[in-house]
Amino acid sequence: MDEITRDYGIRIVGFGNVLFVSPHSAEGFEAGVNYLVAKICVATGASAIINTQILRSRVDLNRFDQVNDNFLMVPAVGKYFNDLWRTIVDLKEKFDHPVVIFMHFCPRVYIRQRCLYQRVENGALVKKQVGESRDFDIDIGCGLTMINSGTSGIYAPAKQIIPSRGRGRPTIDLTRLIQIQNSLSQGNHLKVMVGREWAAANRENMVQWSIEHYNIDTVQLEICSDVAESDNVLSVLCKMVNDLK
């Protein structure tokens, strides 16, 4: 395994079929995400693209439109993008089923009002107020959402539920999605949802860019910051990587 210092941060070249991408520099509630990704790579041999230098307020590396607009003007952004697509191409050449995982932390409570799709049969929209708690520990963003809240729920394309929240397509094979969800949720006390947060359904999201340009299974993990740095989460994520081999 090689760790290479880059203008945007760190590139870890591993030997497995999983690539982690940490697009947001460690600001605020995402302070520990880069460290967590690095520990997972050391334990499992996964690869990683870790941004430590580019502030989200300057360029959001999780949005293709901002990456594209700043590709030439900000050299570090160009190197981030080049390393990302070259690593994806390399994984596709070496492995039959590579997976790209964009990693994020989120606050346990909502810091602004959100309209969410309620996981009940009537499909009602509900408003989450500032200070209300998120109802998951880990959310898997993949352009799909769950009709029901259990791990055996029915999955549907997110854009069919609320088109205004994103028109992207599903970004991972359903069998692989269920494998990831089961790996994260079984044998521990973590509550794992699919499509609770909607960013991965946005056409400008880098998750959508990955599937549309390289047809590679891609997900975005949102991990609540109050559980994100626990030893339990580290072991669960390492198990997920090993299960995906």
Overall pTM > 0.75: yes
| pLDDT tier at 121, thresholds 50, 70, 90 | very low
CA torsion 12-15-21-22 (nearest 10°) is -40
- Whether residue 117 has pLDDT greater than 60: no
The yes-or-no verdict on residue 215 having pLDDT over 80 is: yes
Residue 147: the pLDDT is 64
Indicate the average pLDDT of the chain. 87
How large is the average pLDDT for residues 113-131? Answer: 64
Query: In this structure, what CATH number is given to the domain that contains residue 191?
Result: 3.40.630
Rg (CA), the chain: 17
Res 12 pLDDT > 80: yes
Higher pLDDT, 24 or 26: 24
Choice among 13-17, 27-31, 46-50, 192-196 with the minimum mean pLDDT: 27-31
Q: What is the mean pLDDT of residues 87-99?
A: 97
Share of the chain above pLDDT 70, in %: 89
Structural domain total, the chain: 1
**Structure confidence by residue, pLDDT tens digits, 229-239:** 787 899 999 99
Q: What is the pLDDT of residue 126?
A: 67
**Alpha-carbon gap, residue 20 to 46, rounded angstroms:** 7
Least confident of 26-35, 63-72, 109-118: 109-118
Distance from C-alpha of 35 to C-alpha of 123, rounded to nearest angstrom: 38
Contact 29, 101 (CB under 8 A): no
Give yes or no for residue 189 having a pLDDT over 50.
yes
Q: Domain residues for 236?
A: 2-243
Half-sphere exposure of 188 (CA within 13 A, CB side): 21
pLDDT of residue 188: 77
